[in-house]
Amino acid sequence: MEIAPVVKQIIGEIDFDPDALHEKYLHERDKRLERGARSYKEIAGELSHFCEDPHADPNFTRDPINDEVDFLLIGAGFSSLVLGARLRKAGYTAPSNIRLIDAAGDVGGTWYWNRYPGAQCDTEGYVYMPMLEDTGTMPTCKYPYQPEILAQANRIADKYALRENAMFQTSVTGMAWDDKAKKWTITTDRGDNFRSKYVVMATGPLSKPKLPGIPGINSFRGHTFHTCRWDYGYTGGSTLGELDGLKDKRVGIIGTGATSIQCIPHLAASAKELYIFQRTPSCVDLRYNKPTDPEWAASLKPGWQWERMVNFAEVLEGIPDVEVDLVNDGWTVLYRKAFGPALKKAAEQVGRKLDREERSQLLELYDYQNMNRIRQQIADIVKDPKTAESLKPWYRQFCKRPTFHDTYLQAFNRPNVHLVDTDGLGVEQITPDGVMTNGEEYKLDCLIFATGFETETSYVHRAGYDVTGRDGRKLSDYWANGLRTFFGVAVDGFPNLFLLGRTQSGSSLNLLYGITRQIGHVVHMITETEKRGAASVEPSAEAVQNFLDDFWAHKRKADRYWAECTPGFFNNEGNVDNNNGFFADSYGGGIRKFFNNFQEWRDSGDMVGMKFAFATEGTDS
Ligand code: NDP
């Protein structure tokens, strides 16, 4: 790398060789792409036991329901709960108006399923946990644990009567638009066949667990489960740890992503022996969790939470006019060094804006510096030099979700904890007695899969059912070559259907921020439809195309950064051009611009581009 003079002036002397690091990163990537079997197995058929709900009554039965509601919200996680609350506030107060449906036994979404020990909000709870002011709640600490977060989901459901008409332990099997009745007909795996005027799909981005495509996966004779279906009946203890059932057990865990970082310290403290099978180490920085300061909490003024959510999103985005960093944590410090604010500071230092190449060089050098600091921190904390070396991440910081934890690295200093570094290859075989890798068999009593969630398959595949719109149009066909939406929330040919989540939206680390903004617009569209006495609303094909023209022009590009990453779900396992990937439908122009555009459309009045239909007429605009 020929460092530009202005970059040298900003960064000063460097004590590392950027070219050597770059080479090392590429080598680590290539090794994984060439050697690692990166295939995954869908949890279905003989593997379906991995998806059974350990928290719900397995004998639950009920009669099929054939009624009608105004709103069906698919998914009972925070997206649906916040939307349900907003609809209640907008006047839909009868319990029967709103139905939530979820395969889970209760509300909570990801926080219902992910109860593994140590499960914790890895962004600040004050910005992540929704509706704190509405429910008069304050998290007990900056990064609260799962029980507190699930309790907040329950609080919202209770306050806004969202459980009364809900269907739990029920999965949608299909959905079709009846253009005569101007209603959706929904079928489920419990034989229900009911109607709803509106349907909102709030299908989370990380809701379908997956298993690695390792031979022999179903042959293991010991106890096994996925982290998002933690079996406390076997391990004992709770989300807070103390896993007494493991004290005489040899436990193996496959995967070292954000989930493992949180549960490994508890497994380490409880298991007789713990074997951690690592393909690629996570980048782990320190968390510095702390209790909520009651004086600070008492000083907050009404509206504080939304102000903080906006501030967090905009600081992470590096918006130059955002001077104050209210959250001020590992994430904001990291983003400030990695993106816009770093460039702004640099420009101030040298009295001019840096050109494209200079900006890219500066950020790359900052990244090497930061990763060197993290690698050094590992060497300082982990006593065994070989283990410390294996735990060092060799990639740019955002290739994988950065993680933070105060006791993960320390767990490797326990004599009962064994890191099995597969050097990028991954576990090769599961045997009846354990795990085979590096030519050695590790005998285990219990094998835990911390192998994440489906992200690279299509939206419809992940939802688990297809949607048939007007004139028999199938969502799976319509989106076969990529998503087509209006601001990510509505689809032409699919009247009265709305989407929440990562379907062509501005994305932020704090998912709840983008979702809350989407919800504001969806509720607006619904209220406008009702105000007009219309039976249905949908965007015109032209409005969708206009939106897409701008979206594609600003789409996050599969640039050098992602192409050079070690594979993982952030870069679609190295398949950077995959249209279905986790970031494939993120707006690259930034979340502020995305939602400003949405607001501008809304402020222009009259629901431009939306088509309304009235019960006895055809579609009208
Ligand atoms: P990930 O997909 O991030 O991790 C899966 C892990 O399994 C990786 O370490 C992967 O290795 C490993 N793996 C897969 N196959 C094999 C194999 N054959 N042999 C060995 N290892 C294998 O899933 P997580 O559940 O950890 O995290 C998913 C996401 O969930 C996070 O990124 C985050 O967005 C979210 N999350 C959020 C939390 C919060 O508090 N808000 C907490 C926890 C998770 P490799 O890296 O090589 O692919």
Determine, yes or no, domain membership for 574: yes
Cβ-contact 50, 177 below 8 angstroms:
no
What is the CA(264)–ligand 1 centre distance, in A?
13
Residue 289: closest CA among 408, 122, 127: 122
Pick the atom of ligand 1 nearest to 227's CA.
25
Determine, yes or no, domain membership for 562: yes
Domain C-terminal end among 399, 420, 443: 399
Nearest residue (by CA) to ligand 1, atom 45, is 280
Output the pLDDT for position 37: 55
Residue 242: closest CA among 223, 216, 268, 219: 268
Determine, yes or no, domain membership for 259: no
> Looking at the 3D structure of the chain, how many domains does it have?
2
Output the pLDDT for position 345: 85
488 in the same domain as 354: no
Determine, yes or no, domain membership for 543: yes
Residue 515: closest CA among 208, 201, 187, 79: 79
What is the CA(451)–ligand 1 centre distance, in A?
5
**Ligand 1 pocket member 214 (CB < 6 A):** yes
Domain C-terminal end among 384, 399, 414: 399
**Ligand 1 pocket member 543 (CB < 6 A):** no
118 in the same domain as 202: yes
Cβ-contact 355, 152 below 8 angstroms:
no
- At 105, which CATH number? 3.50.50.60
Pick the atom of ligand 1 nearest to 213's CA.
18
pLDDT tens digit string along 293-333? 999 999 999 999 999 999 999 999 888 788 899 999 989 98
Determine, yes or no, domain membership for 446: no
460 in the same domain as 609: yes
Determine, yes or no, domain membership for 555: yes
What is the CA(570)–ligand 1 centre distance, in A?
10
Residues of the chain with pLDDT under 70: 35-38, 556-558, 580-583, 616-621
468 in the same domain as 591: yes
**Ligand 1 pocket member 593 (CB < 6 A):** no
Label residues 331-341 b or e (16+ Cβ within 10 Å = b): bbebbbbbbbb
369 in the same domain as 483: no
What is the rounded distance in angstroms from the CA atom of residue 100 to the CA atom of residue 82? 12
The residue whose CB lies within 8 Å of the most ligand 1 atoms, and thus the one to mutate among 50, 145, 401, 449, is 401
The residue whose CB lies within 8 Å of the most ligand 1 atoms, and thus the one to mutate among 451, 566, 572, 586, is 451
465 in the same domain as 598: yes
Determine, yes or no, domain membership for 177: yes
Domain C-terminal end among 399, 427, 448: 399
Output the pLDDT for position 322: 85
483 in the same domain as 390: no
Output the pLDDT for position 621: 46
Angle, CA of 215, 455 and 549, to the nearest 5°:
145
Six-digit token pair at 110? 């990801």
**Ligand 1 pocket member 254 (CB < 6 A):** yes
Output the pLDDT for position 52: 93
Nearest residue (by CA) to ligand 1, atom 10, is 255
Domain span holding position 371: 1-34+338-399
Six-digit token pair at 505? 């939206």
Phi, psi of 289 (to 5 degrees): -70, 150
Residue 248: closest CA among 261, 262, 234: 234
**Ligand 1 pocket member 120 (CB < 6 A):** yes
